Amino acid sequence: MLSSEIEIDIRFSETDAMGVVWHGNYLKFFEDGREAFGKAYGLEYLTIFDKGYFTPIVKSEIDHKAPVYYGQKIKVITKYIPAKSAKILFEYEVVNLTTGELCAVGKTMQVFLDKTSRTLELLTPEFYHAWKVANLAQSN
């Protein structure tokens, strides 16, 4: 399985009035995880853009399990989930490194849009198919 990890120090600006990480910031943490994954495996946003595509999020899920507070440190584990169709799937775990607790789990789905016409690509782009073949073969 292809996965990556990134550690994040929780800043004051990421918390709400109760001192807890605001729930919307978990999507930002997932984005940080995707960027780290892209750098680790050659699937960066600019690479995708240079190939002629956007990859917007069309579905996201978060299951909050435990709070995270200002000053704590988290680890975001991003796991690539292979899909047969023209989409990119990730699953996430957010672990509080200060307490050791699993704080959140989630999923995202991205699709391919032609960057010029902004139309949905129903077939897997050739560059992405080649990336999957190369990277999934190495992970087995």
> Which residues are catalytically annotated?
16
Burial 84-104 (b: 16+ CB within 10 A, else e): eebbbebbbbbbbeeeebebb
Measured in whole angstroms, the distance separating CA 12 from the mean position of its chain's CA atoms is 23
